[in-house]
Structure 1
Amino acid sequence: MALAGLPAAAAPAGAPADLVTATAGNPFVDGWYADPDVTVYDGTYWVFPTTSAPYDDQTYLDAFSSTDLVHWTKHERVLDVADVSWARRALWAPAPVERDGKYYLYFGANDIQGDDELGGIGVAVADRPEGPYVDAIGEPLVGAFVNGAQPIDQDVFVDDDGQAYLYYGGHGHANVALLEDGMTSLGRFEDGTTFREITPSEDYVEGSQMVKRGDTYYYMWSEGGWTGPDYAVSYATADSPVGPFGPARRVLSQDPSVARGSGHNGIVNVPGTDDWYLFYHRRPLSQTDPNARVLAYDRVRFDADGVMQPVTMHVQDDFADGNSLGWSTSGGDWRARRGAYTVEASGQARSLLDTRFSEVAQEARVTLRGGRGDAGLLFRVSRPGADVLDGYYAGISAAGSVFLRSSQGGTWSRLASAPLPRAVGRAHVLRVEAVGDRIEVHVDGTRRLAVTDGRHGRGMNGLRAARATAAFDDVVVAPAPDDAVAMYGDCDHGALLGTYAEGDHLPPAPDAVSSLRVPPGWAVTLFDGPGQTGASLTKTASDGCLVDDGWNDRTESFRVERVGG
């Protein structure tokens, strides 16, 4: 559900007003879910998704709530087909809205393929956000195909003037209808019609979503096939909630290094701010079951002209949520607690992310707490068997060194090492940067190792410990294009924010950049205004902190360019 003009009230308690992304890790809840919609009720965020399962097993809906976008509470079976006389399966895409103290949940059911079948879009009502919801009218609100639109994937939008709209449609067609004040019946447009077709693009498939920012209406939808890797989200804008809509722009695509099948989104604005988050589902790379979908959210930003910037599926985890969802462990005792990921390993232990990066920059804050062994970062990992794997390992040794090793079939060979004083009992920012066969290892912002090795070109990312007790925090994995600009949130080249190729960019959070790396042959121009405006500072062949330049935490936008021949 998308609300127009969210009130300028205080943000929900504990909500980080400048959250870079889901820094506590995606997926943000456990289980197979899809089609999330999101809203805010009385300072609490609510996410209502589809239960991702075979159609005959989609007979109920769960919900999740949070006051800070980090810690989530599950509310089971807020709606069940047992409470909807005409529904039997394929309970889809819930859309929540509150009106006059009542909570409404619009849903699709039965996946009808023609007007001779019973099903379509229904509406349920409850006295509380968590339900239980019950069928409000005893029949579908929309129970037939109109303008070629299958009655599924509904969204409800309430404009500033109080008028409510129902957007929906599958089979490549989209409609909009007016909702009456009671929210359980449809009104008519001025020309006497109940439904108006608003299909925004020939690529439209499903997943309607409407949101308003300022005076601009953003209509969003999903394209491609939900079971395939081409699922994506696009949008178009208008000056009216019923269009006409401008040209389509892509805002979310699959990332072959992170996840496939990303789409069917909700979007929410943090009240009292201009911070926006896109909620969506995606399929982990190792999963082949079409219903193996998880919920994720990432920051979406707008440029000075109101254009939505493409969403990046960030790979980060600061473990602030107290869980390790998305990590797969082998060996040792791994636990997410007190804002860190700890392990006690008497032998070899690892925890892997379902990623497939090649050119990669990976960073974590690593504390070797005890033992005689080591701990650090795994990257370009393939064939991860129970006891063996192929890939690279950059670690810190209790003996007082930083090292880089390669594994082939479980046999480790040392590629390079260097002394590291105070290796035990101190948190070190450990980072690897791998581009082609060139691999660098940095500790606390200083490059300590550089090798050339091409044995492993692509694979998973993770953490490892051997015969040690260790803690990991602030894990970041990002693409590392050859000879590109890297930006960091700390002056010691810690807190990697991202790596950037040629073009105009927005930092992942405004006023977050404290240091940067600009390789020879490149220039980066920092701006203290959006859309490459305002005062500027240009850096070439730089590897330093921005404090001395008076630019610490000041960058609102920037431009990366090649210079020289």
Structure 2
Amino acid sequence: MKSTLDDGRASHRLGRLALAPLLLTTTLHCGGADASHANASGTGGAGGGSEWVGGALAEPECSPGTSGNPIVAGWYADPDMKFYNGVYWVYPTYSAPYDSQTYLDAFSSTDLIHWTKHSRVLDKVNVSWATRAIWAPSPIFRNNTYYLYFGANDIQSDGQLGGIGVAKSNNPGGPYVDALGHPLISKFVNGAQPIDQNIFIDDDGQAYLYYGGWGHCNVVKINNDMISLDSSSFKEITPSGYVEGALMFKRNGKYYLMWSEGGWTGPDYRVSYAMASSPLGPFPKVGTILSQDAAIATGSGHNTVINVPGTDNWYIFYHRRPLGETDGNHRVLAYDRMYFNSDGTIKPVEMTSQDNFCDGNALGWTTYGATWTVSNGRYVTQQAPDAKALLNTNFAALSYEADITPGASGDAGLIFRVSNPGAGLDAYKGYYAGIAAGSDRVVLGKAGGGTWTQLASAAVTIDPNVTYHLAVVANGDRISVYLNRSTVPSVTAIDSTYTSGALGLRAHDSAAAFDNVKASKPPGAIFYADGGYGGLGISLNAGSYTLAQLNAAGIPNDWMSSLRVPAGWTVQVYQNGDFTGTMWKFTADTPLIPQDANDKMSSVKIFAP
């Protein structure tokens, strides 16, 4: 399988796009070599389909949230955190079978980028009554002491030993030792299983513990000693949809209660929230802000939030499950930026797919064909016949970009919509967009069935050891490749062979370096040919689209079977091509369109907030 890039000076092989057996296990990341990326741009409404380049403005290089998820190695869940003396401390559950959950680790960071592991900050050997299922630690500092509230033993009735305990230490990194010799809360009150505790101290000094499983949430006042409670103050505050994972924080005088809904191993795990004027509620549900993303990860939930001191910058820390993982305990720690509207409500959080390698690691990447290393904030591979690094993602419509520094020979670039990566040369499928210093070309092509097909190429001066920004926009069957943030593509092609798949980096016969990798879905509603967000995915911005305009955007008549709707958007699907006939309204992601509407779309109106 070869490709010849010949501009009259040199012949250059792209070589094999086959992958050695892959074990894809994680997700994608990003950053920015300079202070910004290209703005999203596009046309919608009567103008036809959307086109976007690059995505939203990136954060400055090495700022929090730009160095990729997961943030640490290993299986962890249920994070809570505090900022102690200039250091951020994250305390998660060790995610394993219950009988193996006998200790807690912690992680510290001064910049939310580089993390140091602190092993076994709490161990069952220091808690006489805890035997298993040590869960969901919640930290606080008071009385010149560090406290850690935790659940243990997963009790199923009042007759069992276990519940919520409290340990203390003179150091945030432990060791923490049981402060009581027995649980702080050992009974079911108001139907709430005593798990998933979150400690909160209000501005007036009153401490509260929010907790509860089995669909019930309680709050109880904690005394100033932090190891006893006001037993007369138990109050049920269960909001609509509550399952577990209570969290309380305060911003601008408003109290925010967050919680997780759905099943922690199921397809519907998510984070919702309520707002109140009192720490005791009431807490009417406002909405859901973090949901699963079939392109990046599943099982997103049980969160905490952190405010960067002296700023209004907030981040949500949570756990999620890599795509394809069937073991419920295979969860990783992640975090993303959290934004507020002017009225204090929270904007839906988008799971990010980015990596600028500022953290010095390449967590989430699986490499093949060569040795890859993180060096000076870049992901580097030495010259090899075919070097690849892949991420466990599944994007259909996408914008994908990176800064690429090719060597003097060969070529380097981006692979996307990759499937069957571990099945050998004949089964590997995917697209590739690359730049070649050896032949001064930008090329776009595809691999499949053991062959390489060039879809488009263009003569462009590419100097070795110079960094270029390469971006791919794939919307349905329209694929465009942009160089150095130009708004005009260097090459384009129409091809619908591959509809979705993993993303990655590739270098062929070239020493190459990669940086500021970023992938995102387009900023609009995405229509899919098949149920479950399968088949071609085509994004449309807000606007009104007749049948002719849908056709121009690549959407045939009576075609759509599933739909992704951004939070706050509304999509109205019409039976006829001129906005007449039966109308179906969608305000949320719909993995399978109702039977009466399936494959019936002939025109559509899309409304953005």
TM over 0.5: yes
Question: 5 Å matches for 1:212-361?
Answer: 212-361=250-399
Matches within 5 A, 1:137-216: 137-188=180-231, 193-201=232-240, 203-216=241-254
- State the Cα distance separating 1:246 from its structure 2 match: 2.5
The answer to whether the 8 A contact 2:245-2:259 is kept is: yes
Counterpart CA distance in 2 for 1:19 and 1:320 is 5
Shift of 1:411: 2.4
Unaligned runs of 5+ in 1: 1-15, 485-498, 504-518, 521-560
Unpaired segments of 5 or more residues in structure 2?
1-58, 527-538, 544-551, 554-604
Whole-angstrom distance in 2 between the partners of 1:68 and 1:88: 35
RMSD of aligned residue pairs (Cα, Å): 2.2
Question: Normalising by structure 2, what TM-score?
Answer: 0.75
Question: What is the letter of the counterpart of residue 375 of structure 1?
Answer: A
CA offset digits 1:337-356 (Å, max 9, x no partner): 21110011321111111110
Taking the TM superposition and a 5 Å limit, the aligned residue runs for 1:30-49 are 30-49=73-92
* Residue type at the aligned position of 2:412: A
Deviations 1:96-142 (Å, cap 9, x if unpaired)? 00002100000000000001100000000000000000000000000
Matched, 1:470 2:512: yes
Q: Secondary structure in 1 aligned to 2:99?
A: helix
Structure 1 residue 18, shift from structure 2 partner: 10
Displacement of 1:482: 7.2
The 3 A distance-change label for structure 1 pair 420 and 346 is same
Q: Indicate the SS of the match to 1:207.
A: strand
- Counterpart of 1:129 in structure 2 is 172
Larger fraction in strand: 1
Instruction: Determine if contact 2:143/2:225 at 8 Å carries over to the other structure.
Output: no
Moved over 2 A (4+): 16-21, 386-389, 480-484, 499-503
Structure 1 residues 276 and 440, CA gap change in structure 2 (3 angstroms): same
Q: Is the Cα contact below 8 Å between 2:62 and 2:358 reproduced in 1? A: no
Q: Is 1:420 equivalent to 2:488 in the alignment? A: no
| Letter aligned with residue 424 of structure 1 | P
Q: 1:71 aligned to 2:114? A: yes
| Residues 18/103 of structure 1: CA separation in 2 closer, same or farther (3 Å cut) | farther
2:162 is matched with which residue: 109, 119, 125? 119
Are 1:82 and 2:156 an aligned pair? no
CA positional deviation for 1:409 = 3.3
Q: How far is the alpha carbon of 1:425 from its aligned partner?
A: 1.7
Partner AA of 2:317 in structure 1: F
SS of the residue 1:376 aligns to: strand
Shift of 1:19: 7.9
Which residue matches 2:502? 460
- TM score, norm. by length of structure 1: 0.81
Q: 1:436-515 counterparts in 2 under 5 A?
A: 436-446=476-486, 447-480=489-522, 501-502=541-542
- Cα 1:77–1:500 change in 2 (3 A) is farther
Q: Is the 8 A contact 2:272 2:285 kept in 1?
A: no
Taking the aligned partners of 1:438 and 1:501, their CA distance within structure 2 comes to 16
Q: How many residues align?
A: 474
Identity over aligned residues, as a percent? 56
User: 2:475 corresponds to which letter in structure 1?
Assistant: V
Q: 1 or 2 for the larger relative contact order (CA 8 Å, sep ≥6)?
A: 2
Residue of structure 2 in register with 1:543 after alignment: none
Q: Could you tell me how far 1:286 is from its partner in structure 2?
A: 2.2
Cα-to-partner distance string for 1:338-382 (whole Å, 9 max, x where unaligned): 111001132111111111000010000000033x21110010000
The answer to whether the aligner puts 1:28 opposite 2:63 as a matched pair is: no
Distance 1:434 1:291, change over 3 A: same
Q: Residue in 2 aligned with 1:95? A: 138
3-state SS of 1:56 partner: helix
Deviation at 1:216, TM superposition (A): 0.2
Q: Note if contact 1:435-1:482 (Cα within 8 Å) is conserved in structure 2.
A: no
CA distance in 1 between partners of 2:524 and 2:457 (Å): 24
The corresponding residue for 2:443 is 403
Residue 411 of structure 2: aligned partner: 374
Structure 1 residue 390: Cα displacement: 0.6
- Asked whether the 8 Å contact 1:105–1:123 carries over to 2, the reply is yes
How far 1:466 moved relative to its partner?
Answer: 1.0
